[in-house]
Amino acid sequence: MKIALIASPYPLEECPSPPLGLTYIAAVCEAAGAQVIILDYIVRGYSKTKLNAELSAFGPDIVGTSCVTMNFKQAAQILQTAKQSNPEIITLMGGPHVSFDSENTLNLYPEIDIVVKGEAEATMAELLAVIQDRKKWSTVCGIAFKENGCAVTTGPRPLIQDLDALPLPARHLLPMSRYQALGYPVSIITSRGCPNQCIFCLGRKMVGSKVRYRSPKLIADEIETLVSSGSTFINIADDLFTSNKRRVKQLCDEIIQRNIAVSWSAFSRVNTIDAQTLKRMKKAGCHSVSFGIESGNPDMLRRVKKGITIDQAKKASKACKEAGIRGHASFMVGLPGETFETMTDSLNLQKELEIESAYHFLAPFPGTTIREKIQEYDLEILTDDWDLYNANQSIVRTAALLPEQMDAFVHASEENHRNSWDLLKKKYEEKTATPYEQMQVGGHYRMVMIFKLLTQDFIEQNADFISDPADALKQFFQKIASMAGLDHAFVESTMTDLINKGYIRIEESFGKTLFSWAH
């Protein structure tokens, strides 16, 4: 059996990292004996022509993808294209969006054969054994499909209790050098489950309210494997990494005892952290911790069932400073009952915490309590255009606020940051920036350039030059600078670094100098 899994395009602003869920599914498929490829269009250019060519070359029996709400439409269109290229292909889609909107998905996109709902590894293992016999699909828990023109959902799939039994993500199927060049961290999980009841979140609905843990030893083994393959920046993508402080200490001790040189970040809550735990995390390589604070208004926190207090937020911020770890606070605008006063409370708390922070707009995803019980809240959802569900603009209104007013508030609150950034860029261009400022601005430009290289296939379009290596390199730099519309010296410096680090390979063959991304 041949299976092609597809990582759909994802914008740079959302900090794309190697697709963790897809690589878990790939590992399950390989364990079942399938021949698997991942067509990664996050860090490669996407077009229908390229997709058709790559599917034709591989000849899959099954094509699957996973998505979140904001890239659902493009993921669905990719499966449409795959089905149109070969109607015999069985198409699958998983992820949080379709898990809670499976009926609409199947009705709107008849080219999608099966929706895999919720935690998918055990479901996929069972499904693959019967997938060629449509009559047996109904025996597999945790899926939805069309039967006689109607959407059918099978029984719920029990959550996987022993996470250690899962195969490690099949990252060998990804173009990892491209992600390493981009500089974003590689995600791992150390647990699944979230005991909290925030009405805007899908966490507990996707992975359950009881937290299930992986073994600290196996987690450290995975981290060592990543580090040995060149990935030294890791993000722990658990819904709540610090749900159990004793277990956090065990993992940190395992990393410290093995002397693993790794830098990592994690998600926490202000009511599950303290300076002692943070200091242990820092010693094990943790450099930053993110907290979803959401609002500076106590009534709002109670309304959305956040389960934290303003005082706890202040203590967590202080603990980060004491431990020497970067704290990051996330605030949400557009929650039920939002007013100018509640937004101002958030702004005041943001200033008082004196840690890094950012605003996001409420995106009422399918499956969230806030969407399913919208009639109970002072909130109106203004669009179901899933492309707009990226938390970067308001798509709701309350009795007191229009979306334009929420947008304007966030824009104004970020003015100081924008002005500081504009000043930094000016100093960088005038060559008056400090070394640290040069690193900040140069790093941003480097990231933007590399993402352009990746998603517009600049390297592939300039793969070979008929000349000696020294002259070919000069031509290569000139062509990339011209295509990217960037300063030649900056392009040469960046490209030289990518070559020296082994992310871009240079080979000579029959009088040609060949350039390509390493795997």
For 191-214, what is each residue's pLDDT tens digit?
A: 999 999 999 999 889 999 999 999
Confidence of residue 510 (pLDDT cuts 50, 70, 90): confident
> Is CATH 1.10.10 the right assignment for the domain spanning 425-517?
yes
Rounded CA separation 47/125 (Å): 30
* Amino acid 13: pLDDT: 74
* Amino acid 290: pLDDT: 97
Q: Is 278 helix (H, G, I), strand (E, B) or coil?
A: helix
Confidence of residue 78 (pLDDT cuts 50, 70, 90): very high
Confidence of residue 100 (pLDDT cuts 50, 70, 90): very high
Percent of all residues in the chain with a pLDDT value above 90, rounded to a whole number:
84
At 40-54, the pLDDT tens digits run: 999 999 999 999 999
* Amino acid 448: pLDDT: 87
Give every strand in the sheet of 504-509, ordered side by side.
464-465, 512-517, 504-509
- Give Cα 245 to chain centroid, integer Å: 25
Single-letter amino acid code for the residue at 261: A
Confidence of residue 181 (pLDDT cuts 50, 70, 90): very high
At 262-302, the pLDDT tens digits run: 999 999 999 999 999 999 999 999 999 999 999 999 999 99
At 407-433, the pLDDT tens digits run: 999 999 999 889 999 999 999 989 999
Rounded CA separation 20/27 (Å): 11
* Amino acid 15: pLDDT: 75
At 336-393, the pLDDT tens digits run: 999 999 999 999 999 999 999 999 999 999 999 999 999 999 999 999 999 999 999 9
Q: Is 4 helix (H, G, I), strand (E, B) or coil?
A: strand
CATH code for the domain defined by 185-361 = 3.20.20.70
Rounded CA separation 402/246 (Å): 45
Count of other CB atoms within 10 angstroms of residue 74: 17
At 5-24, the pLDDT tens digits run: 999 998 877 778 899 999 99
Q: 2-153 is classed in which CATH architecture?
A: 3-Layer(aba) Sandwich (3.40)
- Give Cα 185 to chain centroid, integer Å: 10
Residue ranges per structural domain of the chain: 2-153, 185-361, 425-517
CA-based Rg of the chain, rounded to a whole angstrom? Answer: 24
- 512 with 465: CB under 8 angstroms? yes
CA proximity to 64, closest of 117, 129, 112: 112
CA proximity to 396, closest of 369, 378, 419: 378
* pTM of the shown model: 0.94
Is pLDDT of 464 > 90? no
Is pLDDT of 512 > 90? no
* Amino acid 468: pLDDT: 76
